[in-house]
Amino acid sequence: MLPQRPLGTTGLHVSALGLGTVKFGRNQGVKYPQHFVLPDDASLRNLLALAKDLGINTLDTAPAYGRSEERLGQLLSHRHDWVIVDKTGETFSEGQSHFDFSPAGLRYSLDNSLRQLRTDYIDVLLLHSDGSDLAIIEQGGLDTLLRFKQEGKVRAIGMSTKTLEGALACLEYADVVMLTYHPEHTIESPALEQCINLHKGAFIKKALASGHLGSDAAKVARENLQFVYQHPGTSCIIVGTLQAEHLRQNVQALTYPANNLA
């Protein structure tokens, strides 16, 4: 069975692998090596059912992922079976990203996400950084998310960061952080160590380098996933795919008993 770890002190438990849903709703302005067609509802319903059967309980989405939130809202029949990680601060339209980290902008984004997802709460809400991590925090972005948490609309807060400095600053105020970490990118490992010290949760993005793994992709993917989850600071690795076989392979990399990853 796919192992789970506690998400810091939030009371949530997240599967070793979480399903990223960029490809559920957006295929423009993305950095994947190959173009893809957005899947139909039946394909997504089957993929979500497979993910659940494999032990995945965590889904990652965002307003910037096109129709991802809307489609999840239509397709998730048992909302409470899932830990939904959502974001705020970035939207995508007319081929480019737009950012608004003002209190009003963040509240509008959250309310719209709740409507799209057809839910009355978000498990984890992250600021979707534009790269200016420290400025967003200093200007009160996390303070606004804390108010949402106090209102009961959000269970845990944090930031999807772009810098080590931002990840460390986020951990001083928030419950969780999302950062980049894999064998070729370990510069942010001090933030994972800080997660251990402060009992905070950590979501790992880009563990598979957005699909840019070279000719022996399956082997590198397995090695990367095992490397990332062996770090005790890692709570959950977010990986997006539309392929059932890739999903099974990724889960297998984290469930093989010899890995001793739980």
Task: State residue 258's pLDDT score.
Answer: 45
Give me the sign of the Cα torsion angle 216, 219, 225, 229.
negative
Q: How far, in whole angstroms, is CA 215 from its chain's centroid?
A: 26
Task: Please provide residue 191's backbone torsions phi and psi, each rounded to the nearest 5 degrees.
Answer: -70, -35
Q: Averaged over 225-242, what is the pLDDT?
A: 97
Question: DSSP character for 231?
Answer: S
Q: Averaged over 238-249, what is the pLDDT?
A: 95
Catalytic pick among 32, 65, 173, 256: 65
Task: State residue 19's pLDDT score.
Answer: 98
Q: Averaged over 98-115, what is the pLDDT?
A: 98
Q: Active-site residue 65, yes or no?
A: yes
Q: What is the 3-state secondary structure (H, E, C) of 3-38?
A: CEEECCCCCCEEECEEEECHHHHCCCCCCCCCCCCC
What would the pLDDT profile of 133-184 be if each residue is shown by its tens digit? 999 999 999 999 999 999 999 999 999 999 999 999 999 999 999 999 999 9
Residue 259 confidence (pLDDT) above 70: no
Asked if 192 and 170 count as a contact pair (C-beta separation under 8 A), the reply is: no
Task: State residue 29's pLDDT score.
Answer: 76
Q: Does domain 4-254 have CATH number 1.10.10.10?
A: no
Asked if 214 and 221 count as a contact pair (C-beta separation under 8 A), the reply is: no
User: Mean of the per-residue pLDDT values for the chain?
Assistant: 93
Q: Which residue has the higher pLDDT, 31 or 189?
A: 189
219 — pLDDT class (breaks 50, 70, 90) = confident
Task: State residue 217's pLDDT score.
Answer: 75
- Return d(Cα 148, Cα 86) in angstroms, integer: 13
Rounded percentage of the chain residues whose pLDDT exceeds 70: 95
Residue 213 confidence (pLDDT) above 90: no
Residue 260 confidence (pLDDT) above 90: no
- Return d(Cα 209, Cα 153) in angstroms, integer: 32
**Residue spans per domain, the chain:** 4-254
Q: Where are the beta strands (DSSP E) in 9-165?
A: 13-15, 17-20, 58-60, 83-88, 90-93, 96-99, 122-128, 154-160
